[in-house]
Amino acid sequence: MGKTWVLIATVLGSSMSFVDATAVNVALPIMQRDLVANSAQVQWVVEGYALFLAALVLVGGSLGDVLGRKKMFVIGVVLFAISSAACAIAPTITFLIVARCVQGIGGALSVPESLALISATFTGDERGKAIGTWSGFSSITGAAGPLIGGVLAQHASWRWVFFINIPIAIAVVIITSMHVPGSKDDKAAREIDWSGATLTTTGLGALVYGLIRLQTERSDRLGLATVAGGLIILALFVYDQMHARHPMMPLALFRSRSFSIANLYTLLLYTALGGSLYFFPFVLIDVQKYTPTAAGAAGLPFVFLVFLLSRWSGGLIARIGARAPLVIGGALAGFAFLLYSLPGIGGAYWTTYFPAICMLGFGAAFFVAPLTTTVFDSSDPSQSGIASAINNAISRTAGLIAIAVLGIILAAVFDGGFDARIAQRHVAPTTMALLAHERDRLTTGTVPPDIPASDRAAVGVAVANSYLAGYRAVMYTAAAISFGAALIALVFLPRKTIAAAAAA
């Protein structure tokens, strides 16, 4: 029973992070209206969390090896719960963003330690089954997140998306304290790569900050300077990792061609996925007028297809290798994003977004398991843990940067079309002045509350059509990126090495 308690504690502890990562996105349009936030502030609600999670997840794993996995797991869960409570009572959007950043730190501690505790407790075949159980429940909780977020936002309050973490965290701390044994890696390096953690957090933060500034003013000098500074700091991070005694990201792993290509593929595919699908709830709720519950349920076919087909896809690798599934998966994702771009305003879900969601689900079923297998098979078994962690960090970083980059594309297309559309509506001069002042809020797809009632309908039509045009441009970009990932896998991924590794 002791091992069962370990599994229960780790599944519940990590589930908070997985649920929040997906539930918050659906609740964002409601948060934006409630806290009167502009597009940049709404993006930082997601970006603040993703920044610290992506930048510190590797350090979080190292801290557990050195200081104790149980200790760091509990600290991460408690920190996540406290910051969740802060998110739930946030009086302003700035307060919420800061609390989300702290949530990301909690997630960076709890998520890697949950897997580390399982690996330290279970051995042999039991370990594989335990990790499979953890992965299965993680997928289910992450998949349930949008629906949970939509139901709570519609029928209670978006604040309950964060409140529900508190009783779960209390249960995890009690179970862990009573039933989970402590462990650490006595062979692990005693030095933590704080310089690497600082450089990657600062570099990614500066890069994302600058990119979000450029969404409102493409020639903004501070935005351009911050982007340049972020890139320089990230270059320093790579230099630091090349010379550090105990780097958080061992660059020697990238000497493997398969490992490098797999992570480049990850960067591209998860840029397309994370960046484009961030904007999907805004289209459904603000443009198509879906209820939050319906918007949360819209993506369920994607989840079911990935869940049902991933085992089949994993078995496919042993027969034909990983390259073909990765190529097919990337291509299907590209076609799916093109389907996402087709619907206009209105129309039934089953004939508009359902086909696109299903095709994306089929694509993901082809690339998720083969990608993970490729990462493991292209690295030494003794380094499989850090190889998997690096791939996970890259996927999170891809989503982090993509939201900001694709936001620039959406804002540029929105601005280019909105002025022409609103000029045809002949709204009052006072309304035009308000619209110029509220442009940052318009690019979330919503009509500001201070627009006069006589002009709200006209402004609403112009905003909806302009946002939809920007969203289509984002989907075209995501499709091009996905096709690029498929092409890279086709040309550069060595078929013989991966196929042989998979069959071994």
Query: Of 211 and 373, which is predicted with more confidence?
Result: 211
CA dihedral 108, 110, 113, 117 (to 10 degrees): -170
Q: Packing angle between helix 257-278 and helix 384-423, nearest 10 degrees?
A: 30
- Nearest 5°: the CA angle 277, 418, 279 is 10
pLDDT per residue as tens digits for the range 95-114: 999 999 999 999 988 888 88
Q: Is the pLDDT of residue 501 over 50?
A: no
Q: What is the pLDDT of residue 303?
A: 82
Half-sphere exposure of 179 (CA within 13 A, CB side): 15
Which of the residue ranges 141-155, 173-187, 200-214 has the most confident prediction, judged by mean pLDDT?
200-214
Burial of 436 (0-12, 13-18, 19+ CB in 10 A): exposed
The count of residues in the chain is 504
Q: Give the separation between CA 490 and CA 166, rounded to whole angstroms.
A: 46
pLDDT per residue as tens digits for the range 255-301: 888 899 999 999 999 999 988 889 999 999 999 999 999 999 998 89
Two tokens at 281? 């709830």
| CATH annotation of 1-182 | 1.20.1250.20
pLDDT per residue as tens digits for the range 400-433: 999 999 999 999 999 889 988 988 888 888 888 8
pLDDT per residue as tens digits for the range 162-187: 999 999 999 999 999 988 887 766 56
| Helices then strands, each counted (H, E), the chain | 21, 0
Q: What is the pLDDT of residue 499?
A: 43
Largest CA distance in the chain: 73
Q: Give the separation between CA 255 and CA 234, rounded to whole angstroms.
A: 20
Query: Which residues does 201 contact at the CB level (< 8 Å), separation at least 6?
Result: 51, 52, 55, 56
Nearest CA to 324 among 494, 455, 152? 494
Nearest CA to 439 among 419, 461, 409? 419
Q: Give the separation between CA 69 and CA 98, rounded to whole angstroms.
A: 26
Q: Is the pLDDT of residue 136 over 50?
A: yes
Q: Is the pLDDT of residue 38 over 90?
A: no
Query: Of 340 and 192, which is predicted with more confidence?
Result: 340
* CA-based end-to-end distance of the chain: 35
Q: Give the separation between CA 29 and CA 444, rounded to whole angstroms.
A: 8
Contact between 277 and 410 under an 8 Å Cβ cutoff? The reply is no
Q: What is the pLDDT of residue 188?
A: 57
Q: Give the separation between CA 261 and CA 284, rounded to whole angstroms.
A: 35
Q: Is the pLDDT of residue 502 over 50?
A: no
CA distances from 456 to 31, 39, 446 (A): 21, 19, 11
For the chain, the structural domain boundaries read 1-182, 194-245, 253-504
Q: What is the pLDDT of residue 497?
A: 44
Contact between 107 and 77 under an 8 Å Cβ cutoff? The reply is no
Using a pLDDT cut of 90, give the percent of the chain over it.
49
Q: Give the separation between CA 63 and CA 132, rounded to whole angstroms.
A: 24
What rounded mean pLDDT belongs to the chain?
Answer: 87
Contact between 83 and 106 under an 8 Å Cβ cutoff? The reply is yes
Q: Which backbone phi and psi does 341 adopt, to 5 degrees?
A: -80, -10
CATH fold of 253-504 reads Growth Hormone; Chain: A; (1.20.1250)
Q: What is the pLDDT of residue 58?
A: 84
pLDDT band at 349 (very low <50, low <70, confident <90, very high): very high
In this chain, the answer to whether the domains covering 1-182 and 253-504 adopt an identical fold is yes
Write the secondary structure of 217-245 as one string of H (helix), E (strand) and C (coil): CCCCHHHHHHHHHHHHHHHHHHHHHHHCC
Mean pLDDT to the nearest integer, 194-212: 93
